[in-house]
């Protein structure tokens, strides 16, 4: 830690570093968005201003200093200024920070060290040195989730929850639209926030810190399941619970503490560094001939979260650019690092069976009955969560229907059956009993005259959708 700082102090000469980790970068034709040669670009030197950041923050916020000092970045002489630097004209410039140079309360508080900075560090800032990761991430569902949810979600489009409920719920996972007032202070209703699809003041989308927390920016941390489990949990997308239940999770919990999560980027090897896969190992990390990706839609062949399960290239709000067969082959290649062809094919056959079963036996008949209620005027089309009967329909696909499908996809029998199909059956009976009664008696479904907290703004973010309504 000390050594890093001394080194930093000495490196006053401008230096141009280009680190290109060696090794065979087999160009796989199934990864079109991957550059041919992986590069880390650094064009920099350490100015007195950059040194001042480190030295003053060592005093005012030792926690931040310490995290940074223990990072690969500090080791490679990447300073605070490399990420936080801003121009006076930048929309995310922190005007408040200029004042710290006028206080004179420590040796680094001098006007000669004054440098404009931004508090927000966006994917655009990281992309200076990590262009491949930033590019892949920018086309992912993660980075573009605000566009997706504002296209399909009734909570937002019909204002069914309040701004406060969104800020503390939806937006911490999906991301917020950052706002700054004219004095350069970030709006507390939008900040802090590191949601995967955050819309930044510089126009870039997402937050790399959703998985690589500051200021360690550790690749080991991102490879662990807890990173993803922060958002991928709960009744409607319980991936972490599913994984914990799977044999893969069980083995990790028993011996994972001894595995090598800190292998250099691109070298993390199944069977050598770890015995069973984490979320990242299946969905993102390089494995055999499959290259690392920051686009989590790669390797998927279904949209398991959707009401009716469809192929990713048919998902209208954000269609995948490649075919599902191509992506399935990538995921299966990951499995085959540790399993036989037969084992993997059979697992997929079981999963495909579950999806067909869910679509045909549970979802389609229930949706058809709901459409009948709409057509007969027994339920208004905008009933949504105000109608207990509509909620039965919603939870059938959004909660247990997802659990049944995802439990099967990721090897968790309890989720596929007890939290999944068993609950689907209960819900099915309840929904159809009530719907049939209404149709028979030609009675209208109950719709609450008042719904609490339905005060949310219904204007889609103009930065994404333009100003036209």
Stretch that binds ligand HEC, among 203-211, 358-366, 389-397, 443-451 (CB under 6 A): 203-211
Residues 204-233 that bind ligand HEC (CB under 6 A): 207-212, 214-215, 217-219, 222-223, 225, 227-232
Residue 404 touches ligand HEC, criterion: CB under 6 A: no
**CB 424 to ligand HEC: min, Å:** 17
Mind giving me the DSSP string for 264-296?
PTT---BTTTBSS--HHHHHTS-BTTBPP-S-T
Bridge partner list, 274: 270
Shortest distance in whole angstroms from residue 376 CB to ligand HEC: 28
Is position 326 an interface residue for ligand HEC (rule: CB under 6 A)? no
Stretch that binds ligand HEC, among 8-16, 62-70, 368-376, 444-452 (CB under 6 A): 62-70
Among 34, 180, 190, 276, binds ligand HEC (CB under 6 A): 276
By the rule CB under 6 A, 358 interacts with ligand HEC: no
Within 10 angstroms of residue 133's Cβ, the number of other Cβ atoms is: 20
Contact 156, 458 (CB under 8 A): yes
CB 195 within 8 A of CB 210: yes
Answer yes or no: are the C-beta atoms of 191 and 201 closer than 8 Å: no
Residue with Cβ nearer ligand HEC (68 or 421) = 68
CA distances from 220 to 227, 259, 262 (A): 10, 11, 5
The residue within the footprint of ligand HEC, chosen from 130, 399, 403, 460 (CB under 6 A), is 130
Asked if residue 124 binds ligand HEC (CB under 6 A), the reply is no
Contact between 46 and ligand HEC by CB under 6 A: the answer reads no
Could you say whether residue 96 binds ligand HEC (CB under 6 A)? yes
Number of residues that bind ligand HEC (CB under 6 A): 134
Q: Rounded to an integer, what distance in angstroms lies between the CA atom of residue 227 and that of residue 395?
A: 26
Contact between 92 and 110 (Cβ < 8 Å): no
| Cβ atoms of 188 and 354 closer than 8 Å | no
Report the distance separating Cα 194 and Cα 176, nearest Å: 8
Residue 235 is a binding residue for ligand HEC (CB under 6 A): no
Structure-token pair, residue 226: 């807890």
Is residue 248 near ligand HEC by the rule CB under 6 A?
A: yes
Q: How far is the CB of 91 from ligand HEC (least distance, A)?
A: 13
Which one of 4, 31, 199, 280 is in contact with ligand HEC (CB under 6 A)? 280
Q: Does 52 bind ligand HEC (CB under 6 A)?
A: yes
Residue from 153, 202, 273, 372 touching ligand HEC (CB under 6 A): that is: 153
- Segment interacting with ligand HEC, rule: CB under 6 A, options 118-126, 366-374, 387-395, 422-430: 118-126
397 forms part of the interface with ligand HEC (CB under 6 A): no
Interface stretch with ligand HEC, choices 25-33, 234-242, 363-371, 427-435 (CB under 6 A): 234-242
Query: Is residue 370 within the footprint of ligand HEC (CB under 6 A)?
Result: no
Give the one residue of 11, 97, 310, 454 binding ligand HEC; rule: CB under 6 A.
97
Helices (H), 107-191: 123-127, 131-138, 145-152, 154-157, 163-168, 170-174
**Quick check: 78 binds ligand HEC (CB under 6 A)?**
yes
If binding is defined by CB under 6 A, does position 82 make contact with ligand HEC? yes
221: tokens are: 């941390």
Rounded to the nearest whole angstrom, what is the least distance from the CB of residue 281 to ligand HEC in the complex?
A: 6
First to last CA, the chain: 53
Residue 190 phi, psi (nearest 5): -120, -5
> Cβ–Cβ contacts within 10 Å for residue 160, how many?
21
> Judged by CB under 6 A, does residue 73 bind ligand HEC?
yes
From candidates 1, 12, 19, 164, binder to ligand HEC by CB under 6 A: 19
Query: For residues 402-412, b (16+ Cβ closer than 10 Å) or e, as one string?
Result: bbbbbbbbbbb
176 near ligand HEC, judged by CB under 6 A:
no
* Residue 141 binds ligand HEC (CB under 6 A): yes
Does residue 123 contact residue 437 with C-beta atoms inside 8 Å?
Answer: no
Q: Looking up tokens 């004095």, which residue turns up?
A: 183
Give yes or no for a contact between 273 and 259, defined as CB atoms under 8 angstroms apart.
Answer: yes
The dihedral region occupied by 412, where left means phi > 0, alpha psi between -120 and 50, and beta the remainder, is: beta
């Amino acid at each position: 830690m000390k050594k890093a700082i001394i080194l930093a102090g000495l490196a006053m000469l401008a230096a141009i570093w280009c680190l290109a980790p060696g090794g065979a970068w087999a160009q796989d034709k199934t990864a079109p968005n991957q550059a041919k040669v992986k590069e880390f670009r650094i064009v920099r030197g350490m100015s007195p201003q950059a040194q001042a950041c480190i030295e003053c923050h060592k005093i005012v916020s030792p926690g931040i200093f310490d995290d940074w000092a223990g990072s690969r970045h500090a080791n490679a002489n990447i300073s605070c200024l490399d990420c936080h630097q801003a121009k006076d004209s930048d929309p995310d410039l922190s005007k408040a920070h200029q004042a710290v140079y006028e206080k004179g309360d420590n040796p680094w508080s001098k006007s000669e060290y004054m440098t404009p900075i931004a508090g927000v560090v966006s994917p655009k800032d990281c992309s200076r040195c990590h262009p491949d990761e930033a590019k892949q991430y920018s086309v992912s569902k993660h980075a573009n989730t605000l566009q997706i949810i504002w296209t399909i979600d009734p909570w937002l489009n019909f204002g069914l929850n309040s701004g406060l409920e969104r800020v503390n719920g939806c937006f911490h996972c999906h991301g917020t639209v950052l706002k700054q007032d004219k004095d350069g202070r970030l709006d507390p209703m939008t900040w802090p926030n590191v949601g995967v699809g955050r819309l930044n003041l510089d126009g870039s989308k997402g937050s790399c810190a959703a998985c690589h927390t500051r200021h360690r920016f550790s690749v080991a941390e991102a490879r662990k399941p807890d990173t993803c489990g922060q958002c991928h949990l709960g009744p409607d997308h319980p991936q972490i619970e599913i994984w914990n239940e799977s044999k893969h999770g069980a083995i990790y919990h028993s011996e994972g503490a001894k595995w090598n999560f800190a292998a250099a980027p691109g070298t993390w090897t199944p069977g050598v560094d770890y015995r069973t896969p984490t979320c990242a190992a299946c969905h993102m990390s390089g494995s055999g001939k499959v290259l690392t990706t920051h686009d989590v839609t790669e390797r998927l062949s279904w949209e398991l979260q959707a009401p009716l399960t469809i192929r990713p290239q048919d998902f209208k709000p954000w269609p995948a650019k490649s075919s599902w067969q191509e992506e399935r082959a990538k995921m299966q290649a990951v499995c085959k690092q540790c399993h036989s062809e037969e084992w993997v094919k059979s697992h997929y056959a079981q999963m495909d069976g579950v999806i067909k079963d869910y679509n045909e036996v549970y979802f389609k008949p229930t949706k058809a009955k709901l459409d009948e209620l709409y057509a007969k005027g027994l339920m208004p089309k905008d009933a949504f969560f105000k109608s207990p009967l509509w909620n039965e329909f919603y939870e059938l696909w959004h909660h247990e229907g997802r659990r049944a499908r995802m439990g099967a996809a990721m090897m968790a029998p309890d989720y596929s059956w007890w939290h999944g199909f068993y609950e689907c059956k209960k819900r099915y009976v309840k929904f159809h009993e009530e719907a049939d009664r209404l149709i028979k008696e030609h009675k209208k479904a109950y719709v609450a005259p008042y719904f609490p907290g339905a005060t949310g703004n219904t204007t889609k973010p103009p930065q994404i959708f333009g100003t036209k309504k």
